[in-house]
């Protein structure tokens, strides 16, 4: 319904998110995201291995600050992400619908994503109490075990759940003090980029979350093999074997989460936080 007086809408350029900035891929490449009628919805950045390496540098740089931020602060920042997402509820529904999700399912997915962030925000200062221990050693020592974040985590976000799948895997990683590089869904990439904007407006420090779009087949191997990444979460069943082989180069932790129904309440629990945590045990003599 165009007319000479109609306003021309301004369309968004979907970019990637590295170190708190929104660059285009350094490679200059793109892939066209099309709807079922083969109309181009967006030209999405086809991220490169170099983009990934830059992201890991940013994530590593952000790790010392984020991993030592107080649990209270991390909880508040996760809560803030939820607030920002709530405020942009309509935008995300529209984006999901544009990518072919039904209106009803889209609304449900955005609702669930917001609630999931609140869920993990609340865990920030509790999972430690549930999973740590004071150990009654028989010698005269005080001995305790606590959880600490594993480090920099690669996340291959679920391909079939553009927003909720991303949030469900991202939140437990960062609430635990890790930093991460996310490979967004290839078939539903738009919400990941918009979610980066939400993160950006939520006091998440630069580099804590980096989000790339691109071809999974091209990038998964790099996400799995990088020597400065400590863990990888993989959600595609068919690549688990290759990821585990590549991950062995630096004894990366591999968390395989294929076949999870991300819409289900049972897809959120503190053991997902524990998946990217290390147990540290400290000894000190008791004496004078």
* Contacts to other proteins by CB under 8 A: 68, 130, 133, 135-139, 141, 143, 145, 148, 150-151, 230, 240-245, 247-251, 253, 266, 269-271, 278-285
Q: Shortest approach of other proteins to residue 254 CB, angstroms?
A: 8
Helix (H, G, I), strand (E, B) or coil at 77: helix
Closest CA to 66 of 209, 223, 194, 211: 209
Q: Using the minimum distance from each CB to other proteins, give the nearer residue, 102 or 250.
A: 250
Distances (CA, A) of 267 to 43, 131, 244, 263: 32, 19, 23, 7
Which residue, 41 or 256, is less far from other proteins as judged by CB? 256
DSSP class per residue in 14-59:
---BBTTB-PPPTT--EEEEE-TT--EEEEEE---HHHHHHHHHHH
| C-alpha span between 122 and 136 (Å, rounded) | 30
DSSP assigned state of 13: P
- State the nearest-atom distance from the C-beta of 285 to other proteins, in Å: 5
Rank residues 86 and 148 by Cβ distance to other proteins and give the closer one: 148
Measured distance CA(138)–CA(283) in Å, rounded? 12
Q: Cβ of residue 14: shortest distance to other proteins, in angstroms?
A: 34
Nearer to other proteins (CB atom), residue 90 or residue 249: 249
Q: Please, what is the minimum distance in Å from the beta carbon of residue 148 to other proteins?
A: 8
Nearer to other proteins, 5 or 129 (CB): 129
Residue for token pair 């635990």: 176
Question: Minimum Å distance from CB 212 to other proteins?
Answer: 24
């Amino acid at each position: 319904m165009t007319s000479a007086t109609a306003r021309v809408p301004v369309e968004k350029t979907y970019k990637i998110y590295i170190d708190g900035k929104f660059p285009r891929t350094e490679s200059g490449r793109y892939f066209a995201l099309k709807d079922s009628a083969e109309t181009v919805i967006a030209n999405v950045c086809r991220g490169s291995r170099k983009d990934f390496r830059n992201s890991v540098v940013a994530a590593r740089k952000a790790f010392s600050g984020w991993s030592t931020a107080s649990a209270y602060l991390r909880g508040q920042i996760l809560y803030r992400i939820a607030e920002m997402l709530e405020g942009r509820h309509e935008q995300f529904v529209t984006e999901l619908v544009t990518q072919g999700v039904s209106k009803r399912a889209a609304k449900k997915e955005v609702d669930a994503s917001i609630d999931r962030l609140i869920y993990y925000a609340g865990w920030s200062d509790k999972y430690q109490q549930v999973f740590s221990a004071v150990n009654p050693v028989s010698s005269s020592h005080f001995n305790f075990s606590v959880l600490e974040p594993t480090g920099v985590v690669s996340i291959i976000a679920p391909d079939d759940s553009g927003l909720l799948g991303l949030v469900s895997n991202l939140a437990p990683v960062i609430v635990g003090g890790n930093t991460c590089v996310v490979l967004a869904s290839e078939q539903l990439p738009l919400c990941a980029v918009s979610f980066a904007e939400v993160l950006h407006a939520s006091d998440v420090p630069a580099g804590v979350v980096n989000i790339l779009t691109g071809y999974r087949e091209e990038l998964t191997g790099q996400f799995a093999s990088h020597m400065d990444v400590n863990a990888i979460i993989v959600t595609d069943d068919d690549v688990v074997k290759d990821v585990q082989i590549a991950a062995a180069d630096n004894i990366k932790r591999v968390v395989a989460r294929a076949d999870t129904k991300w819409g289900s309440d049972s897809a959120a629990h503190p053991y997902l936080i524990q998946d990217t945590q290390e147990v540290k045990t400290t000894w000190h003599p008791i004496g004078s």
